[in-house]
Amino acid sequence: MNTVAIEQRNKIHPHKFTLWVGIGSILMMFAGLTSAYIVKRNQANWVTFELPIAFWYSTAAIVLSSVTLYLASKAFRERAMNNYRKLMAVTLALGVLFLLLQVIGFKQLWSNGLTLTANVSFSFLYIIVGLHGAHVIGGVIALIVMSLKAFSTKTRNYSIVPVDLISTYWHFVDILWIYLLIFLLMIR
């Protein structure tokens, strides 16, 4: 019986496995997009551009949200549920702030004439950053669900799996954004 329990502990939870497969797929998609960006930037009609300042503020928001989510996960493990609820709410607010700052950044780009169809270089920017934003929206939806569950008065389930799943995904989109920002700054 003891051997069975040890073998079961060494197995990855099916939801975690599925998440990692999804993360692998997302990584491959962004690797393809950034590779295509590198190839296309050698064309004669490629235009360099400055990233809007709002992208820097959004970077601060998403990095802070990873910190607060880490602290929320720690609070959950320690069963400090009031602290967990507050930190989940702050993480959610920072995730929404990230998205709002991204929209402001795109409005700045648009007002400067850097529209989606103006040049292939701008198209790549919109697609790469927009797809990342779509993945962040998915993360914000998950944060909303987790926050609603945290504040729910119904029967509590203290399984760490959902907290681990959202933490892994959110830290992933955070690291992905930092990579994309550095990529867009270095490869113009």
Q: Is residue 7 classed exposed, middle or buried when 0-12, 13-18 and 19+ CB atoms within 10 A define those classes? A: exposed
Residue ranges of E strands in 13-127: none
Q: Name residue, tokens 């970077």.
A: 59
Domain coordinates in residue numbering, the chain: 18-32+50-186
Lowest mean pLDDT among 26-30, 140-144, 147-151, 167-171: 147-151
Compute the distance between CA of residue 51 and CA of residue 47 in angstroms, rounded to an integer.
13
Helices (H), 112-160: 120-151
pLDDT digits 0-9 by tens, 121-158: 888 899 999 999 999 999 999 999 999 988 887 767 77
Of 133, 62, 53, 71, give the one whose Cα is nearest residue 93. 62
Q: What is the pTM of this model?
A: 0.89
As a residue count, the chain comes to 188
CATH number, domain 18-32+50-186: 1.20.120.80
